[in-house]
Structures are given as structure tokens and as C-alpha cells.
């Protein structure tokens, strides 16, 4: 398992995740971390598109929303049952795979900019349907389905661990995917699509795979997100700002690093919480979005490769220098 090469980071992450609930029983803290894990899954799915395939999507939130609405509608109308939870997961996976394939077939033959535009259009379509189909979705108000969620999933302590295990599993599968022969071709497409095609790879099929994997994973994060809020509303799960959040989490963590998305999700959600709390000290922090904007600009200016990307760059430089030094030592002796 190559993942164990970054053993230090992996074990630290695992320990923090596993032990945190033992040090705090504060529900808000557990909920904050639960949402960090869920949004990290969403951001990792976005990184498969942006970081590994070089495709930008402005409508990635639609898969997130498909997942969120699948679980909420099934539980709301079907009642509390584990069968409904599993059925919702199945429906979300199938639906998001179909939608990502349709969107991909419509746009990926052309330049990647068309993909960005088509995803934006489809996401808006889903948003509008969820707004207007009031009899089913309760429109803008959304609906609470707290009483239909199985008790096990309602327990914040258990749900924390469910989200954490989901993050570990998705992280592991996506890591394997990026290291697989298919993942290598995706990176080749990001680097030089025309050349990848000249090597004999059907770049369209590979881009469709990337789009589908990203869509399915995003829908799973949508399911967990809806359960964590016990509520679903069109703006909260189909709003454009969720796609922008995924983009920012990926950029801050490091595009094309996969696990950078976890760092990005952590920073954004903690900063969100921290800056909003500072409003108690000074009223200027009521406008915390301004500070958020400044934080983004600073990170993009000073860490264009993101936090993990910058770390990896220095690590690579350090290793290259070490190899050079070893070589010159060997030559001189």
C-alpha cells in the first residue's frame, strides 16, 4: 500500500480523527468535525476533476444535491428504515452516474470550458426543479426529516465515526484510483490532452470516467450532509456557493494532491466558525466574509499550489538536492 509511504501524516490524521470524541463531548465540536469530513469527501471528488483531469466544473453541487435529496425524500416519504437509507444511496449513485455521463457526453467532446458551462446549466436546472416542485421538495423552505432518520444515524457520536470512516474509505479508494493505470491517464490528459490521445488513449472515455467517479462520490457526500443537518433545502444543497466552496477547498489544500482537499475543508470550515465567533469581540467580524476573501487572496498569491502542493514541492526539491549531493559525494570519493 503506497498510501503508507506518507505514514506520519496518515497516522496523525487517523489518531486525531479517532480520539477527538474522547476528549470532547461538545455536540457543536463533533458536528463541526463531522461536516469537515463530509465536505472533505465532496472536495476530494472535485479534485478528481480539477486536479487530476484538468476539467473545471461550475455545477459540481448538482451531484451533492442529488445525494442529499435522495436520502431526504426517501426517508421523509418512505419513513424511518435502513432499507430506505441503502435504497437512497443506490438511487443517488445511479442517478449521479447517469447525469454525469449525460453531461459528459454533451460537453467533453468539445473543449473543457464547455463542460464548465454545461455543468452550470444542469446544476441550475436541478436547483430550479427543487425550488418549483413544491409538493415534493417544499421549495425554498425545504423540509426537516429528523424524525425519520434511524436513531443510530441521529446520534452525533456515532455519526461522527460514520463520517470519519466514510472519509477514510473514500480517501483510500480515490487514492488507489489516482494511482491506477486509469488515474495515470487522467493526469496525462490534464498535462497534455492531445499527446495523450496520440499515445492511443481515448481521452473522451477517460474524461467520462473521471466525471462519473467525481459525480458518484459527490452524491455520497450529499447523503451524509443531509443526514448531518437532518434538513434539506434547495439553496443549501443546490446553491452555486457549494461548488465554489469545493473549488476553494481544493485550491487551498492543493489542486491535484487529493488529501489536500481534507486540509482545505478543515481550514475553510474552522475559519468559518472562528471568524464568525470573533463577532463577539468586535463588530467588524460580523463582516467575516471580508476576512475570508482576504485569506483566499493571500493563499492564492503566496501558495498557488495550495498547502499540500507547496509542501510536496519543497519535499521534491529537498529530495532532488539530496540525490545531487549524494551523487557528487560518490563521484568525489
Partner 1 sequence: METLLELKEVSIQFGGHTAVDRVSLQIPVKQFTSIAGPNGAGKTTLFNLISGQLRPTSGTLMYRGKDITLLPPYKRARLGMGRSFQITNVFPHLTVLENVRLAVQSQQNIGYKFFESIILSKQLKDKAIYWIEQVNLSAKTNELAITLTHGEKRKLEIAILLALESELLLLDEPTAGMSLEEVPTIIELLLEIKEKKDRTILLIEHKMDMLMELSENLFILNHGKLIAQGNPQAIMNDPIVQAAYLGGYDEQFA
Residue 274, C-alpha cell as written in the block? 472562528
Compute the least distance from the CB of residue 182 to partner 1, in Å.
5
d(CA 189, CA 193): 4
- Shortest distance in whole angstroms from residue 203 CB to partner 1: 7
Give the total of residues touching partner 1 (CB under 8 A).
28
184 binds partner 1 (CB under 8 A): yes
Q: Is 201 in the site for partner 1 (CB under 8 A)?
A: yes
Q: Which helix (H) or strand (E) holds 148?
A: none
Residue 199 gets which letter from DSSP?
T
Selection from 42, 21, 2, 37 nearest residue 167 by Cα: 37
Residue ranges of the alpha helices (H) in the chain?
Answer: 7-23, 27-47, 61-78, 82-107, 112-132, 134-137, 151-154, 156-179, 181-198, 203-229, 234-238, 240-253, 260-277, 288-302, 306-332
The answer to whether 52 contacts partner 1 (rule: CB under 8 A) is no
Cell representation of residue 70: 435522495
Site map (CB under 8 A) of partner 1, residues 157-176, x = contact: -------------------x
Tell which one of 43, 50, 99, 209 touches partner 1 (CB under 8 A).
209
Query: What SS3 state is found at 15?
Result: helix
Q: Is 194 in the site for partner 1 (CB under 8 A)?
A: yes
Please say which residue, 53 or 234, places its beta carbon nearer to partner 1: 53
Q: For the CB of residue 150, give the shortest distance to partner 1 in the complex, in Å.
A: 31
Which one of residues 192, 241, 290, 300 is an interface residue with partner 1 (CB under 8 A)? 192
Single out the residue of 17, 20, 60, 29 nearest to residue 221, CA to CA: 60
Q: Does 197 bind partner 1 (CB under 8 A)?
A: yes
**195 forms part of the interface with partner 1 (CB under 8 A):** yes
Per CB under 8 A, residues contacting partner 1 are 2, 176-177, 179-185, 187-188, 191-192, 194-203, 205, 209, 320, 323
Amino acid at each position: 500500500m503506497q498510501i503508507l509511504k506518507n505514514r506520519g501524516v496518515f497516522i496523525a490524521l487517523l489518531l486525531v480523527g479517532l480520539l477527538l470524541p474522547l476528549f470532547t463531548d461538545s455536540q457543536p465540536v463533533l458536528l463541526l468535525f463531522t461536516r469537515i469530513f463530509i465536505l472533505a469527501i465532496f472536495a476530494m471528488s472535485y479534485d478528481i476533476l480539477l486536479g487530476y483531469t484538468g476539467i473545471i466544473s461550475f455545477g459540481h453541487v448538482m451531484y451533492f444535491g442529488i445525494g442529499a435529496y435522495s436520502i431526504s425524500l426517501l426517508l421523509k416519504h418512505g419513513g424511518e428504515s435502513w432499507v430506505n437509507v441503502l435504497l437512497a444511496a443506490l438511487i443517488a449513485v445511479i442517478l449521479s452516474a447517469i447525469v454525469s455521463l449525460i453531461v459528459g457526453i454533451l460537453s467533453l467532446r468539445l473543449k473543457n470550458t464547455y463542460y464548465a458551462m454545461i455543468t452550470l446549466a444542469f446544476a441550475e436546472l436541478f436547483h430550479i426543479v427543487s425550488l418549483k416542485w413544491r409538493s415534493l421538495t417544499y421549495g425554498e423552505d425545504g423540509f426537516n426529516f429528523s424524525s425519520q432518520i434511524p436513531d443510530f444515524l441521529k446520534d452525533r457520536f456515532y455519526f461522527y465515526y460514520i463520517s470519519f470512516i466514510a472519509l477514510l474509505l473514500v480517501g483510500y479508494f480515490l487514492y488507489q484510483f489516482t494511482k491506477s493505470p486509469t488515474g495515470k491517464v487522467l493526469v496525462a490528459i490534464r498535462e497534455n490532452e492531445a499527446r495523450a490521445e496520440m499515445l492511443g488513449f481515448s481521452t473522451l472515455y477517460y474524461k467520462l470516467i473521471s466525471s462519473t467517479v467525481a459525480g458518484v462520490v459527490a452524491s455520497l457526500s450529499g447523503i451524509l450532509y443531509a443526514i448531518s443537518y437532518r434538513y434539506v433545502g434547495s439553496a443549501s444543497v443546490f446553491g452555486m456557493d457549494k461548488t465554489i466552496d469545493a473549488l476553494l477547498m481544493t485550491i487551498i489544500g492543493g489542486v491535484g494532491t487529493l488529501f489536500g482537499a481534507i486540509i482545505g475543508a478543515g481550514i475553510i470550515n474552522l475559519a468559518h466558525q472562528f471568524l464568525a465567533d470573533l463577532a463577539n469581540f468586535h463588530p467588524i467580524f460580523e463582516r467575516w466574509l471580508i476576512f475570508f476573501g482576504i485569506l483566499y487572496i493571500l493563499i492564492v498569491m503566496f501558495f498557488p499550489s495550495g498547502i499540500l502542493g507547496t509542501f510536496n514541492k519543497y519535499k521534491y526539491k529537498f529530495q532532488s538536492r539530496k540525490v545531487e549531493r549524494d551523487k557528487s559525494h560518490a563521484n568525489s570519493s
